[in-house]
Amino acid sequence: MRKVVILITEVVLPIAVAIVLAAVFRTVYVSEDGCNFLWLWIAVGFPFGITRIGHILVPLKHDLASTIGIWFLNVMIAGLIGGVVLVWRVVRGIIRCLIA
């Protein structure tokens, strides 16, 4: 019973969230040329990385263009970190399921 709970919470649930995010943000990373995997990685990883980013850059005393650029940089960094976190969570869940 414990293996099933670990499998569902640590493997199936993050993969399901990633699939839903990939479906929602499909227009962001798919174009006429094909799939841009960097944008897919950022779009899927953002919710997993925003909690792990540590220090979010806060734009103080900047104009609108700089503020938008800084927030966009925050989103990109969180997405890149989150992609790694997602892969790590799934691998850790599979290992824990095999060990338990």
Residues facing 34 on adjacent strands: 31
Task: Give the amino acid at 74.
Answer: N
Q: What is the mean pLDDT of the segment spanning 44-69?
A: 87
Copy the structure tokens of residue 61. Answer: 């005393």
The yes-or-no verdict on residue 42 having pLDDT over 90 is: yes
Does the pTM surpass 0.75? The reply is yes
The SS3 of residue 31 is: strand
Helices (H) and strands (E) in the chain, counts: 5, 2
Q: What is the pLDDT of residue 23?
A: 95
User: In whole numbers, what is the pLDDT of the chain averaged over residues?
Assistant: 91
